[in-house]
Amino acid sequence: MRHLIGRFHEIALKGKNRWRFVDQLKRNLRATFADYRLGPMRGEGPRLMVELPEDLSDEVARERASLMFGLQTFSIGRPAARDLDEIKSGVLDAIRGCNAQSFRILTRRADKQFAFNSPEIDRAVGAAVKEATGIKVDLEHPELTIGIEILPTVAFFSIGKYSGPGGLPVGVSGHAVALISGGIDSPVAAYRMMRRGLRLDFVHFHSFPLLSAASREKARDLVAHLTRYQARSNLILVPFAELQRRIVAQMPRPLRVVLYRRFMMRIASALAVESGATALVTGESLGQVASQTLENMTVITQAATLPVFRPLVGMDKNEIVDQARRLGTFETSIIPDQDCCTLFVPAHPETHARREQVEQAESMLEVDAMVADALGRSERVRLSFPRRSR
Ligand code: ATP
Ligand code: MG
């Protein structure tokens, strides 16, 4: 019987609330492994032990565990009899074919009655591994760590220790709506907030059929990628073309982008309230483009009825790009598309919008009716991970 041995990230610091974090992580694990029957889970100090079913390969277990926010590191433990020779032969079996250049053994002995102490076990198993494989011992920076644990009735060993994604389990911090364009920034912003424990719904504004459906497809692909971290997502596709037509017909040119954005805030706020979400998330970064000057961001925020989180606000574009590459969204984000906000936008948009100026312009529009109309024509797409069948 193998176990996933997960070590908690910040959860360890959460004092009396800790059980909420552990419970959420357990639920998230069941959802992420929904196509397998995970066995019992139990918390043991700073760790969570999960029994893995036979039909779940180590490879899939590792892939999925690396998506579980709240895990700092994890390994896959295999049982052995509490006998040094059995442990040696189990370890030798399990590392066959492993091509690490260096290793170390790290033993923890929870049962102090065991005949050998931890350093003795380290040395005995280490010598056997070295002799059988020729891999050298490196206590400081080993490529491979072989963990051994001696418990009162059973022993475990694990080959390798893997990095988890850190952060807090999705859901412990609440529920928000992320505005996802098709660009580089917004998926990174969403990822960073999910990693802080927020469960997200996603909203994408598109100008189809005025523009191609490419941005919708991209948003869907990006959300599918992000859904691996929370198992289920709702993506709301909101048609924006009609509303833009009105803005173009009636509003001063330089204000268009700010007005588009204010409508996005209103519509996203309404969607959030409807689904019980209590914040919005965007990929804005201070000064990156004309709509992201301090003045414009302020005026845009004033149209929202909920707090707006902008986790990238202090990041440079190249830092965001690096993170998008690591996250695996970059390649999708750079597929050419036609973003709705580039529609009818002047070469020199307003960079210092003022509240009174914007509100005065908007007083010529039927704002509530425009919002209600877009909401009424929005579509909901449900995405899940793992996909239904395997
Ligand atoms: P991104 O790479 O995320 O598109 P960007 O640098 O292109 O960002 P903007 O186009 O100004 O910046 O958009 C700023 C933020 O506004 C985006 O990060 C996103 O959160 C939101 N946003 C912009 N366009 C859309 C859209 N079509 N649908 C949903 N949200 C959008
Ligand atoms: Mg964009």
389 pLDDT more than 70: no
Backbone angles phi, psi at 158, to 5 degrees: -140, 145
CB 227 within 8 A of CB 371: no
Among 177, 179, 330, 345, the mutation site with the greatest number of ligand 1 atoms within 8 A of its Cβ is: 179
158 pLDDT more than 80: yes
380 pLDDT more than 60: yes
Angle at 115 between CA 111 and CA 120, to 5 degrees: 95
Q: Which range is least confidently modeled, 12-16, 156-160, 271-275?
A: 12-16
CA of 257, closest atom in ligand 1: 11
Interval 161-185 mean pLDDT? 96
| 185 CA to centre of ligand 1 in angstroms | 7
Q: Which range is least confidently modeled, 95-99, 155-159, 381-385?
A: 95-99
| 291 CA to centre of ligand 1 in angstroms | 10
Cα(163)–Cα(362) distance, rounded to whole angstroms? 50
Kindly identify the ligand whose nearest atom is closest to the C-alpha of 292.
1
For residue 10, what pLDDT is reported?
A: 78
CA of 283, closest atom in ligand 1: 18
- b/e map of 117-144 (b: 16 or more CB within 10 Å)? ebeebbebbbebbeeebebeeeeeebeb
CB 197 within 8 A of CB 171: yes
Cα(197)–Cα(167) distance, rounded to whole angstroms? 7
CA of 341, closest atom in ligand 1: 24
Q: Which range is least confidently modeled, 1-10, 14-23, 272-281, 351-360?
A: 14-23
Name the band, by pLDDT with cuts 50, 70 and 90, for residue 385. Answer: very high
Cα(213)–Cα(216) distance, rounded to whole angstroms? 5
Angle at 63 between CA 59 and CA 67, to 5 degrees: 160
For residue 111, what pLDDT is reported?
A: 83
Kindly identify the ligand whose nearest atom is closest to the C-alpha of 260.
1
Pairing of strands 198-206, 174-179: parallel
State the chain's mean pLDDT as an integer: 93
Interval 131-142 mean pLDDT? 94
* pTM of the predicted protein model: 0.93
Give the closest residue (by CA) to ligand 1 atom 7: 183
CA of 340, closest atom in ligand 1: 27
| 313 CA to centre of ligand 2 in angstroms | 14
Cα(34)–Cα(230) distance, rounded to whole angstroms? 12
For residue 17, what pLDDT is reported?
A: 81
Among 177, 181, 339, the mutation site with the greatest number of ligand 1 atoms within 8 A of its Cβ is: 181
Backbone angles phi, psi at 377, to 5 degrees: -100, 10
Question: 390 or 375: which carries more pLDDT confidence?
Answer: 375
Give the closest residue (by CA) to ligand 1 atom 17: 283
For residue 200, what pLDDT is reported?
A: 98
Interval 242-262 mean pLDDT? 94
Please write the tens of the pLDDT for every residue from 49-99.
Answer: 999 999 999 999 999 999 999 999 999 999 999 999 999 999 999 998 888
Q: What CA–CA distances, in Å, run from 136 to 103, 130, 145, 146?
A: 6, 6, 12, 13
Interval 197-203 mean pLDDT? 98
Angle at 143 between CA 142 and CA 147, to 5 degrees: 70
Give the closest residue (by CA) to ligand 1 atom 26: 181
Please write the tens of the pLDDT for every residue from 221-238.
Answer: 999 999 999 999 999 999
For residue 12, what pLDDT is reported?
A: 59
For residue 13, what pLDDT is reported?
A: 64
338 pLDDT more than 70: yes
> Smallest Cα–Cα separation from 193: which of 32, 21, 18, 312?
312
390 pLDDT more than 70: no
Burial class (CB in 10 A: 0-12, 13-18, 19+), 97: exposed
CB 167 within 8 A of CB 28: no
Interval 31-49 mean pLDDT? 92
| 188 CA to centre of ligand 1 in angstroms | 11
Lining ligand 1 with CB less than 6 A are 179-181, 183-186, 203-205, 264, 282-284, 288-289, 291-292, 339-341
Please write the tens of the pLDDT for every residue from 315-326.
Answer: 999 999 999 999
For residue 138, what pLDDT is reported?
A: 96
For residue 388, what pLDDT is reported?
A: 60
For residue 64, what pLDDT is reported?
A: 97
Interval 378-389 mean pLDDT? 88
Query: Which residues on adjacent β-strands are paired with residue 236?
Result: 203, 380
